[in-house]
Amino acid sequence: MISRRDFLQTAVAASAIYGASGVGNWARLAAQQALTQDQLLEFDTFGNVTLIHVTDIHGQLKPIWFREPEINLGVGAVTGKPPHVTGEDFLKMFDIKPGTPEAYALTYVDFVSLAKGYGKVGGLDRVATVINAIRGDRPDALLLDGGDTWHGSYTCLKTQAQDMVNVMNALKPDAMTSHWEFTLGIDRVNEIVDDLPFPFLGANIFDAEWDEPAYEPYQMFERGGAQIAVIGQAFPYMPIANPGWMFPGLSFGVREERMNEVVQEVRDAGADLVVVLSHNGFDVDRKLAAQVPGIDVILTGHTHDALPEPVLVGDTMLIASGSNGKFVTRLDLDVRDGRMMGFRHKLIPIFSDVIEPDADMSALIEAERAPYKAEMEEVLGTTDSLLYRRGNFNGTWDDLICNALIDEREADIALSPGFRWGPSLLPGAPITREDVFNATSMSYPNAYRSEMTGETLKIILEDVADNLFNPDPYYQQGGDMVRVGGMGYDIDVSKAQGSRITNMTLLKTGEAIDPAKTYVVSGWASVNEGTEGPPIWDVVESYIKRQGTVHVDPNKSVKVTGA
Amino acid sequence: MEFTRRGALAVGAGVAATLMLPVRGAMAAADDMIAEFTGGASVGDSGITLTTPEIAENGNTVPIEVDAPGAVSILVLASGNPTPDVATFNFGPLAGAQRASTRIRLAGTQDVVAVAKMADGSFVQARNTVKVTIGGCGG
């Protein structure tokens, strides 16, 4: 008899043969120069249950450009394993031809010229079309949102996320989990959650004082005659990576034991299928899947990875659905007798010029944007460089932000956080105020200017590097490396904390950073309460206006080894 | 990204060579305390569960729990603190469970160690690394 695990692996292989994973399909269509909406959505409905996964939308209502990372290193046991595969290696691993739509959607290779050919991605009116089409095949499909939804744009900031709440409510999700949501402040979160027409799940969110669950841990759904438990797992390092003072009294954490208990609880309550809707980050989920038995599917989030096939860990399937509205995952499952017997999966890229926008959703999005349209559309300058953020080390958007901080705040060195959100801009594009907010929008934006010793700078770099490159995923926070302007350094990602960073150099003089000497440092998004300074978007806007046309040279000041 | 006191505590993780010595001193002190508690007996590693966060949300108050069914006494140490001794929990014969939880202060990333003396005089130990980090910069 074929074991369940064998069956899953067979199904993956079969999906490649039949094109059900989507990969082989797109290439063929591209060769025919005939990529259509029907072909993007083509799917042989399978089994009795359909899950639709979106995650890390970061407030992006409209189509955007989004360049996938060039550098996305894995350490320890996950070196060279998805999602730590980029560019040509990614194309080889998933058998994708260069220059095809999927090469454009999934890698950075030849990004600018492919972007001009294939156009923008995302847009929640296009996402609505895809979701409606899937519901046409399977009316009771479960739509699950992995969080980082109520953050990331001009309108989201100005409306305290009401724009995203209204638009997402119209998509009718069945559940969500969270991360950046809590940077709205606990009162605003609870105000929204009180009126939310679907559950806001987080099995790992606890009241810090009483050590009791603070939000619903899971929701049971009956679909296709099967009981499906959806367990929410919020971002574990909320009070560490983001300002804890904005949601005092809440405690998070991976809480593996808690997950074990909740999985047991839902199995005891009759769940035939256990789905974890997670904002852990991919590597944390990969470890969790190996440690906690009984989970069938983890819908991963946080680390913004887009994978065209599920990753299997034992009997658990990990799904990675990208970010910024660029992808929707459809996962059809055959659930019988308390077991998952098979699946069919497709990562659907939202090519905005191919997928017809849903008219009602377009109208709703425009209504949300209308009050702010004039100020958002104001052109501040032009970029003659590709601006992007995603990648383990400096992206050009952050280089621009660092240049602005050094220039506008008269600093020696600039620090910009290693966020993974923020769309790209093509060379020659105008930079609007909306574009600046897409890269900076947040509730703790103050651009500080302070003095730090060389020793302190080293400690900061070592600390952040360990949050990214600790070989144990449970000690990783899932952000990228802090972006540095005005200073170069070497990093050996294979070393331990305290030994990774060497050769720190002040770029303007070429001198080595002196541990005892004091430097003027400007940065933004400090997690400390009471940080003073102008909001980062004002700093960047002023810089762009003065420059007229911004130019960002390739950053060669970080040398990476040990990967 | 501003440097804070919490960040200063992280120095104990071994970043600055000048501060390595006290940390090593504390580790030696912790080893001495374990040796004193066990009288040098060999120490097993099953039958004791130590629950700690992987990364402390606040290094000044880190929740920990230790559970060792059948223990008569549990020693808890923060091996990297200047004074590693945290607590010794003693359980009388009427205790319903041999489990204790408390909140401790950690001077930087370090191992928290719990050693239980069982009713038969044997010893078991659990050791978890708790990271104390500057924070910020999360995805």
Residue A287 reports pLDDT greater than 50: yes
The A residues from 390 to 449 touching B (CB cutoff 8 Å) are 415, 417-421, 448
Residue B138 is assigned to a structural domain of this protein: no
Confidence of residue A257 (pLDDT cuts 50, 70, 90): very high
Mean pLDDT on A251-278: 97
Among the partner-chain residues A242, A253, A466, the one whose CB lies closest to the CB of B138 is A242
B17 — contact with chain A (CB < 8 Å)?
no
The A residues from 210 to 229 touching B (CB cutoff 8 Å) are 211
One-character DSSP codes across A201-230: --TT-EETTTTEE-S--EEEEEETTEEEEE
Domain with residue B46: its CATH number is 2.60.40.2470
Residue B63 is assigned to a structural domain of this protein: yes
pLDDT at B25 (0 to 100): 64
Tell me the C-alpha to C-alpha distance, in Å, between residue A434 and each of A31, A163, A523. Answer: 36, 15, 21
Domain count, chain B: 1
Are the C-beta atoms of A560 and A71 separated by less than 8 Å? yes
pLDDT at A9 (0 to 100): 39
pLDDT at A34 (0 to 100): 61
In chain A, CATH 3.60.21.10 sits at 4-366
SS (H, E, C) chain B: CCCCHHHHHHHHHCCCHHHHHHHHHHHHHHHHHHHHHHCCCCEECCCCEEECCCECCCCCCEEEEEECCCEEEEEEEECCCCCCEEEEEECCCCCCCCEEEEEECCCCCEEEEEEEEECCCCEEEEEEEEECCCCCCCC
**What is the domain extent for residue B124?**
5-130
Retrieve residue A173's tokens.
Answer: 């999700």
Give the predicted TM-score (pTM) of the model.
Answer: 0.91
Residue B4 reports pLDDT greater than 60: no
Class of domain A4-366: alpha beta
Residue B137 is assigned to a structural domain of this protein: no
Among the partner-chain residues B2, B53, B135, the one whose CB lies closest to the CB of A531 is B2
Q: Residue A308's closest CA among A354, A355, A345, A351?
A: A345
Q: Tens digits of per-residue pLDDT, B10-32?
A: 333 333 333 334 455 677 889 99
In chain A, CATH 3.90.780.10 sits at 378-561
Contact B57 A241 (CB under 8 A): no
pLDDT at B135 (0 to 100): 73
Which of residues A529 and A11 earns the better pLDDT score? A529
* Summary mean pLDDT of chain A: 93
Contact A244 B55 (CB under 8 A): no
Q: Tens digits of per-residue pLDDT, A330-375?
A: 999 999 988 999 999 999 999 999 999 999 999 999 999 999 999 9
Residue B106 is assigned to a structural domain of this protein: yes
Residue A125 reports pLDDT greater than 70: yes
Residue A19 reports pLDDT greater than 50: no
Among the partner-chain residues A448, A459, A472, the one whose CB lies closest to the CB of B7 is A459
Q: Tens digits of per-residue pLDDT, B51-101?
A: 999 999 999 999 999 999 999 999 999 999 999 999 999 999 999 999 999
pLDDT at A6 (0 to 100): 38
Retrieve residue A10's tokens.
Answer: 């067979």
The interface predicted TM-score of the complex, written ipTM, equals: 0.84
Are the C-beta atoms of A439 and A510 separated by less than 8 Å? no
Alpha helices, DSSP H only, in A65-110? 87-93, 101-106
A475 — contact with chain B (CB < 8 Å)?
yes
pLDDT at A33 (0 to 100): 53
Contact A241 B131 (CB under 8 A): no
CATH match of A378-561 with 3.30.420.300: no
Percent of chain A with pLDDT over 70: 94
